[in-house]
Structure 1
Amino acid sequence: MWREVQGSKNWENLVDPLDSLLRSEIIRYGEFVAACYDAFDLDPNSKRYLNCKYGKRSMLSEVGLGESGYQVTKYIYATPDIINHVFPNNISIGSSCGKWIGYIAVSNDEETKRLGRRDVVVTFRGTVTIPEWIANLMSSLTPASLDPHNPRPQVKVEAGFLSLYTSNEDKKFGLGSCREQLLSEIGRVVNKYKGEELSITLAGHSMGSALALLLAYDIAELGLNTHDDHTVPVTVFSFGGPRVGNSGFKERCEELGVKVLRITNVNDPITKLPGVFLNENFRVLGGKYEVPWSCSCYAHVGVEILLDFFKMHNPSCVHDLGTYLSLLKCPKRLHVQKEEDIDFINKAKEFVISGLNFNAALQWKNAAMNMVNMVQSQRT
């Protein structure tokens, strides 16, 4: 059954209605993602500011997951160079040095026996720092070109996400790019347990789900999940995730067998971006120019579980991971009637702008306003 829960049959007959075992697994992986937020140090006066508050051995225990049956093997840092591209005159709006963005954990022997396989989990938090917000506001497609032997120019992804994944600006600590850290550790772990039944599970929230999908594609494209004619399943659990690439990226992920389960809120504007207009639903002249245009259109990947929890006192809840998990834990509340729709867009504007939270950022305030205005135009 674990293979079906991991998407071997594209979650056929498990999504509608939502299977109880699948629901519990979604919650379990969602809690691993929530740990990224709980352990992230946001105190500017702390020596661990914008890094993990705890050591690898104690982190899961410190955030309440000490009985999860997993052990953290590596912390992951992202070193975006977004600021240098957007602000060539070196306007100081924040450091571009490496920030703790997630971790890799492996199930222990007891949990492996319970699950029926050795599970390698990679989790990513969502947007917190200024460069990450800027990356979220970018919307240009660029070739992924992650396999040097076969760059596949038709496979394109969002430039900001790709930069977060591949940039290596923090050379002082010798960390390497986010991608290099991830591929190195995953290769090591898979090789260590290659004689066992394995699964690779990637989970993230918001921007983190975009990184999870990029990593899943990268692993499969490079064949890191294939050993002795045996393919290790690669599964992504995406919470409130945006679109990541074009239709060529979507099709290639499907060809490679990457399984993606997207848990989304119908009222979450982040899941509509990028590609509010040019997306998988776009058609030109009845489809006559559908193929040429498809390379410029964003497309979601995978199977969607669409939630509806609009009736919230605080509009920020529409994208909050805690709300996603709370409602999944209460199945009777998964589908809530929409109410007070008129005031949503104005409140969402205030939420997006306040999330940026940095001084002298008028141009990014305007960008955020434009982003939500696009969402409004789509809703109408």
Structure 2
Amino acid sequence: MWRQVQGSHDWDGLVQPLHPVLRDEAARYGELVDACYKVLDMDPSSSRHMCCKHAKETVLEDAGLVKAGYEVTRYIYATPDVAAAPSATSAWVGYVAVSTDEMTRRLGRRDVLVSFRGTVTQAEWAANLRSSLEPARLDAHHPDVKVESGFLNLYTSSGDKSGGVGGMGSCREQLLREVTRVVTSFSKDNPREDMSVTLAGHSMGSALATLLGYDLAEHGLNRDASGCRVPVAVFSYGGPRVGNEAFKDRCAELGVKVLRVANVRDPVTMLPGAILNEGTKGFLAGWGATGDCYTHVGVELALDFLSLRDPGSVHDLGAYVASVKAEACGKVPNAAEDGGILAMAMELVGGQSAAASTWKEIAALQMGGLVQSLGF
């Protein structure tokens, strides 16, 4: 049933209640994204600062995924071009991989995977502040399609005149080249083999995954060597809104399937567009307000978890994966009962690093959304 798990019928009947096969796949892709955090070198004194600590041949095993069933073909870098961080350098944001022969037999198709981490660097935080909608400009035919400017900047900017890391170009250019190469190569060698393209990411990474899915489909790059369309599915974990209603509609027209795994207590999933969004559009129109509103794309797989001992876990990818594995659509194992905003604030005063990181991202997205809402 791999096509259903990849969203061929918009996950109808698989989400509520959560089907065990979809549960396992959502957890598996979440772990493949979590690997990005585990192998990222965040030591400022290291010569490999903000790069992957391991070689492509062993990176998934080194991340603890001994039997991941994928071979990494390329590392992907992004270089934000933002005034708040003019000296930003390229940082490793994820990888492209393809399923092994053994995993392909298990899955029922050759799976091309792109995995993205979330926000980590100062330049990426600064990009989150740029929450205004702007034309995507990824094709010349749909000027009404708009996306969050900060995510678009991360996706399209090479950051400097040299063209990014080693002249490889922007994050977008690296991705389009590599995904096209892998799809064409494997479909040419195995013309009778089914194939899928899966894009998975957490937080900022889920926004990049969604932009890539739209971009691939819009330009017809998700086609194999014989010209047949390869299905594209996005597995988003704790992802923010990415674009406007026209962006959502165009993704649907192109057949880009997005499963949003979202904790109902995670504020990042409610941003940007805290004021201007799909839920308030009708209300604002009644008051004579017009303009674009942020709109979520795809189908939501709603989770509900919170630990007062670690309020930052509401956005933590490990907590997301644990909740999915527990078939929760409820709470992660041993999660504390919700004690309200005051209790959460008191925990934050304790200065836990995970919480501080989460709320830093929330604040950046919220401030950018507020600026847009006020029309500055």
> 2:311 is matched by which residue type in structure 1?
P
Who is 2:311 aligned against?
315
Equivalents in 1 of 2:147, 2:361: separation in Å?
25
Give the conservation status (yes or no) of the 8 Å contact 1:202–1:216: yes
Who is 2:373 aligned against?
none
> 2:122 is matched by which residue type in structure 1?
I
1:139 partnered with 2:131? yes
Q: Kindly state the Cα deviation for residue 334 of structure 1 after the two structures are TM-superposed.
A: 2.8
1:331 partnered with 2:327? yes
Give the conservation status (yes or no) of the 8 Å contact 2:34–2:317: yes
Who is 1:213 aligned against?
210
Match of 1:177 among 141, 165, 170: 170
> 1:238 is matched by which residue type in structure 2?
S
Structure 1 residues 285 and 310: alpha-carbon distance in aligned structure 2, compared to 1, 3 A threshold:
closer
Equivalents in 1 of 2:23, 2:45: separation in Å?
39
Cα deviation 1:293-321 (Å, max 9, x = unaligned): 3x510000000011111243111011000
Structure 1 residues 67 and 286: alpha-carbon distance in aligned structure 2, compared to 1, 3 A threshold:
closer
Who is 1:156 aligned against?
146
Who is 2:93 aligned against?
101
Who is 1:111 aligned against?
103
Q: Any unmatched runs of 5+ in structure 1? A: 358-363, 375-380
Structure 1 residues 323 and 296: alpha-carbon distance in aligned structure 2, compared to 1, 3 A threshold:
same
Match of 1:240 among 218, 233, 238: 238
Who is 2:339 aligned against?
340
Equivalents in 1 of 2:115, 2:308: separation in Å?
27
Who is 1:378 aligned against?
none
Q: CA RMSD in A?
A: 2.7
Cα deviation 1:157-176 (Å, max 9, x = unaligned): 00000000000124262120
Q: Kindly state the Cα deviation for residue 283 of structure 1 after the two structures are TM-superposed.
A: 3.2
Equivalents in 2 of 1:371, 1:15: separation in Å?
33
> 1:241 is matched by which residue type in structure 2?
G
Deviates more, 1:365-374 or 1:39-48: 365-374
> 1:43 is matched by which residue type in structure 2?
D
Cα deviation 1:139-190 (Å, max 9, x = unaligned): 1000001024x2x111000000000000012426212000000000011011
Equivalents in 1 of 2:321, 2:110: separation in Å?
24
Who is 2:374 aligned against?
none
Structure 1 residues 21 and 285: alpha-carbon distance in aligned structure 2, compared to 1, 3 A threshold:
closer
Equivalents in 2 of 1:366, 1:16: separation in Å?
28
Equivalents in 2 of 1:256, 1:53: separation in Å?
37
Q: Kindly state the Cα deviation for residue 354 of structure 1 after the two structures are TM-superposed.
A: 3.6
Give the conservation status (yes or no) of the 8 Å contact 1:328–1:334: no
Structure 1 residues 113 and 275: alpha-carbon distance in aligned structure 2, compared to 1, 3 A threshold:
same
Match of 1:270 among 268, 271, 275: 268
Q: Kindly state the Cα deviation for residue 120 of structure 1 after the two structures are TM-superposed.
A: 0.3
Mapping 1:360-379, distance limit 5 Å: 368=364, 371=367
Equivalents in 1 of 2:26, 2:319: separation in Å?
14
1:128 partnered with 2:120? yes
> 2:171 is matched by which residue type in structure 1?
C
Deviates more, 1:226-235 or 1:269-278: 226-235
Structure 1 residues 67 and 284: alpha-carbon distance in aligned structure 2, compared to 1, 3 A threshold:
closer
Which structure is richer in relative contact order (CA contacts within 8 A, separation 6 or more)? 2
Deviates more, 1:9-18 or 1:165-174: 165-174
Who is 1:300 aligned against?
296
Normalized against structure 1, the TM-score is what? 0.87
Structure 1 residues 348 and 68: alpha-carbon distance in aligned structure 2, compared to 1, 3 A threshold:
same
Structure 1 residues 61 and 17: alpha-carbon distance in aligned structure 2, compared to 1, 3 A threshold:
same
